[in-house]
Amino acid sequence: MSVYGPVVKIHPVVLASIADSYERRNEGASRVIGTLLGTIDKHTVEVTNCFSVPHNESEDEVAVDMEFAKNMYELHKKVSPSEVIIGWYATGYDITEHSVLIHEYYSREAQNPIHLTVDTALQSGKMNIRAYVSAQMGVPGKTVGVMFTPLTVKYIYYDTERIGVDLLQRTRASPNRTNGLTSDLEQVGAAAARVQDMLATVLTYIEDVLSGKVMADNSVGRFLTDLVNKVPKISAEDFETMLNSNINDLLMVTYLANLTQAQISLNEKLVVL
């Protein structure tokens, strides 16, 4: 359930970092918290990075190492100046009373910060990920409380992150939950197979439209037109010549790299002698 508000877009590296922090938590700690970094747009909040913040929590009080959080943020700004503090995260399924106190601190660091909860303990049978934004409630001049309103959460990734996500997906089918990295040639073959499957799906759709089995969709037609227009017009002979030329260049670079590596290894052995 979500209400009107910014859409929270989370990158896979953020979730992996949170899960890793939870696995490395101190003995006796029930949850971990940390700072969320990213960018803010008019209608979206994109979470691209995060770091954990040490804290001690009991039934009566909570203590957060604010100095550590400030130093870590200063270091992150040197690497990624565009990333700003957009909120904080906590592992667990529910929002606790201490969450209100921690949220007050981040309200001084960011305007209307978001609060992200990640159910790393899988209390509901899966890793529920929820985002909230706070709003004050109560009678003016009297007791004022804080209400956390849920936001819409979406998952996005860069092309480089897609490789890691695909690798993690393949471990689900492995008996020991492990899987090695594929070679470049295997990645090219897998990509070619995916393209072939997508082309087969497109051809099946076109044939069904032409035969009257499926009603034509104008939006799909526009996408297909753009796709066809982006394909370069080149003859088969010119394409084969260009491909062979690139392959020869690649083989030459590989040969020179192996030759250089062999010369370095030989030089090291001669120096030892």
> Rounded to two decimals, what is the model's pTM?
0.66
Distance CA 230, CA 233 (A): 9
Main-chain dihedrals φ then ψ at residue 129, nearest 5 degrees: -125, 120
**Percent residues over pLDDT 90 in the chain:** 27
Q: So what's the pLDDT on residue 252? A: 93
Minimal CA–CA distance to 223: which of 245, 206, 243, 200?
Answer: 206
Min mean pLDDT across 1-10, 46-55, 57-66 is at 1-10
**Quick check: 138 pLDDT over 70?**
no
CB 63 within 8 A of CB 56: yes
**Cα 171 from Cα 119, distance rounded (Å):** 21
Write the pLDDT tens digit of every residue in 154-164.
999 888 888 77
Whether the pLDDT of residue 202 is over 80: the answer is: yes
